[in-house]
């Protein structure tokens, strides 16, 4: 079997890691793989966003299954192009990917279908957005409507912070086209959950819920990032919460997408807030999350490949389930100094040869091989994932592993899963 993975970050490294275990004899190909992925796959020297070149390459090399990691190619229509050529591919169509590529579309879809979410308004005018903030007051949330690499949502505790966020998006165009329309939402109190649903458009297989940490600083302070770490499972995600997520979020959303000629087949990721009024959707993503994938997949005992292949081939997931370990996983992101702002690239990386062992693995994100040496190439450089019988043991292992990695300017959060740890201490 020939499998192509589109993307080259930590999420894609985790996908490669899991799929190689599901299908040891398969041949794996990856688009411009990072320094950790390269030894385990054949290199495809085509950028993940070059849809035409990738579809031609996949056809020429008789690829049996393509799996798309990042949102950009999905929003640009890679699935539609592959399907036009009769190539099996896992991921949603361009229309269905609007659930992530346009927050304005996503919010309107939820409003029409009764999916619980924060109250909101959308704006393309800076003046109109600022007037709305004055009328609503703070705290309030300002979001770029388009794709902003996980950094386009700003939680504003004061009106002045909201005005600054609006100006950076609509005035300075900080996020380019992604920020030319903004969504301004009510501030929701509660804890967030990330829930992945592998879906054929009607039926869902839910993976173990996780919680990530978007803020760059300890205690969830500072600006948003693409994610500084994650853990799974989450004790707040009880069987009832998961069942509610299926019936009040996933099923009506999939039905609404289908009714809008946007049948969603792929991975639907719901960012949920556990509020005093029940579950509410923070946002949807149209692909596996990063770094949540790095804790969800190591806990998945059953075959991921079987689920993804069934969807890509147009089959049904009715009656299928995912089987997970009775264990915990924690991942800690080791980032470049300055991230999520400007940062240096090309710094040599030292990873002790004895670091990876049973229960501890390193997924590469922003790395590359230069003259056979590993160097930094991104803001989030590595994710150190530990699995253990308890959350505390996994968290301690992950943090200790991250501390052993060295490159100039490196930093990481030492408190990943701090809310979970607090809950356990109360018990």
Rounded Cα–Cα distance for residues 295 and 194 (Å):
11
pLDDT of 223 higher than 90: no
CB distance 258 to 175 below 8 Å: no
Q: How confident is the model at residue 424 (pLDDT cuts 50, 70, 90)?
A: confident
Would strands 380-388 and 360-364 be described as parallel, antiparallel, or unpaired?
Answer: antiparallel
Domains in the chain: boundaries = 2-91, 125-180, 191-312, 328-426
Whether residue 425 is predicted with pLDDT greater than 90 in this model: the reply is no
Least confident of 161-165, 172-176, 307-311: 172-176
Q: Which strands, in side-by-side order, build the sheet including 153-156?
A: 120-123, 182-186, 140-144, 153-156
Looking at CATH, the fold of the domain delimited by 2-91 is given as: Rossmann fold (3.40.50)
User: Angle at CA 283, nearest 5°, toward 279 and 285?
Assistant: 125
Architecture category of domain 125-180 in CATH: 2-Layer Sandwich (3.30)
Q: 427: pLDDT confidence band, cut at 50, 70 and 90?
A: low
Alpha carbon separation from 102 to 16, 33, 261, 285, 302 (Å, rounded): 28, 28, 16, 10, 33
What pLDDT score was predicted for residue 196?
A: 98
> pLDDT value at position 148?
78
Q: Which residues pair with 300 in a beta bridge?
A: 324
What whole-number percentage of the chain has pLDDT above 90? 92
Measured N-to-C along each axis, helices 10-22 and 304-312 cross at an angle, to the nearest 10 degrees, of 100
Q: Which fold, 328-426?
A: 3.90.600
How many whole angstroms separate alpha carbon 143 and alpha carbon 163?
12
CA distance 170 to 76: 23
Nearest to 328, CA basis, from 177, 211, 160 = 211
Give residue-wise pLDDT tens across range 363-385.
999 999 999 899 999 999 999 99
What pLDDT score does 72 carry? 95
Neighbours of 337 (CB within 10 A): 16
- Pairing label, strands 2-6, 27-31: parallel
Of 118, 93, 30, residue with least CA distance to 258:
93
- Paired sense of beta strands 27-31 and 42-44, if any: parallel
Domain spanning 191-312: CATH 3.30.470.20: yes
Summarised one tens digit per residue, pLDDT across range 76-112 is 999 999 999 999 999 999 999 999 999 999 999 999 9
Give the rounded distance of the alpha carbon of 318 from its chain centre: 25
Residue 152, C-beta contacts closer than 8 angstroms, at least 6 positions apart: 143, 144, 146, 169, 175, 178, 179, 224
pLDDT per residue as tens digits for the range 233-263: 999 999 999 999 999 999 999 999 999 999 9
> Could you tell me the sign of the dihedral formed by the alpha carbons of 356, 13, 383, 395, in that order?
negative
CA 305 to chain CA mean position, Å: 19
CB atoms within 10 A of CB 108: 15
> What is the three-class DSSP state of 403?
helix
> CA–CA separation, 130 vs 142, rounded Å?
11
pTM for this entry: 0.95
The closest alpha carbon to 100, from 136, 160, 165, 144, belongs to 144
**23-30, Cβ contacts within 8 angstroms, sequence gap of 24 or more:** 23/305, 25/1, 26/1, 26/2, 27/1, 27/2, 27/3, 28/3, 28/4, 29/2, 29/3, 29/4, 29/5, 29/61, 29/63, 30/4, 30/5
Indicate the average pLDDT of the chain. 95
């Amino acid at each position: 079997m020939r499998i192509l993975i589109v993307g080259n970050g930590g999420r894609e490294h985790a996908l490669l890691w899991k799929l190689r275990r599901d299908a040891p004899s398969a041949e794996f190909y990856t688009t411009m793989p990072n320094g950790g992925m390269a030894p385990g796959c054949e290199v495809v020297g085509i950028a993940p966003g070059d849809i035409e070149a990738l579809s031609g390459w996949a056809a020429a090399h008789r690829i049996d299954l393509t799996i798309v990691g990042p949102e950009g190619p999905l929003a640009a229509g890679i699935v539609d192009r592959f399907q036009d050529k009769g190539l099996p591919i896992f991921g949603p169509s361009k229309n269905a990917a609007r659930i992530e590529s346009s927050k304005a579309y996503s919010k309107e879809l939820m409003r029409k279908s009764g999916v619980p979410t924060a109250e909101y308004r959308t704006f393309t005018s800076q003046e109109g957005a600022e007037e709305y903030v004055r009328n609503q007051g703070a705290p309030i949330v300002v979001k770029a409507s388009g794709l902003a690499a996980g950094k386009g949502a700003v939680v504003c505790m004061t009106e002045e912070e909201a005005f600054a966020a609006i100006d950076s998006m609509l005035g300075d165009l900080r996020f380019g086209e992604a920020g030319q329309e903004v969504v301004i939402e009510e501030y929701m109190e509660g804890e967030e959950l990330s829930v992945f649903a592998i879906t054929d458009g009607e039926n869902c297989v839910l993976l173990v819920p996780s919680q990530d940490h978007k803020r760059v600083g300890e205690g969830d302070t500072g600006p948003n990032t693409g994610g500084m770490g994650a853990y799974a499972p989450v004790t707040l995600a009880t069987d009832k919460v998961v069942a509610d997520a299926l019936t009040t979020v996933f099923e009506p959303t999939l039905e609404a997408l289908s009714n809008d000629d946007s049948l969603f087949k792929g991975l639907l990721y719901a960012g949920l807030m556990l509020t005093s009024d029940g579950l509410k959707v923070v946002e949807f993503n149209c692909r596996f999350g990063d770094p949540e994938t790095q804790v969800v997949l190591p806990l998945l005992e059953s075959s991921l490949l079987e689920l993804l292949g069934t969807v890509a081939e147009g089959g049904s997931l009715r009656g299928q389930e995912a089987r997970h370990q009775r264990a915990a996983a924690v991942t800690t992101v080791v980032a470049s100094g300055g991230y999520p702002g400007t940062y240096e690239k090309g710094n040599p990386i030292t990873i002790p040869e004895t670091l990876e062992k049973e229960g501890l693995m390193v997924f590469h994100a922003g790395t590359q091989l230069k003259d056979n040496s590993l160097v930094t190439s991104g803001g989030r450089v590595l994710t150190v994932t530990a699995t253990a019988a308890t959350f505390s043991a996994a968290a301690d292992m992950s943090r200790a592993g991250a501390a052993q990695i060295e490159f100039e300017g490196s930093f990481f959060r030492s408190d990943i899963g701090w809310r979970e740890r607090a809950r356990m201490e109360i018990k």
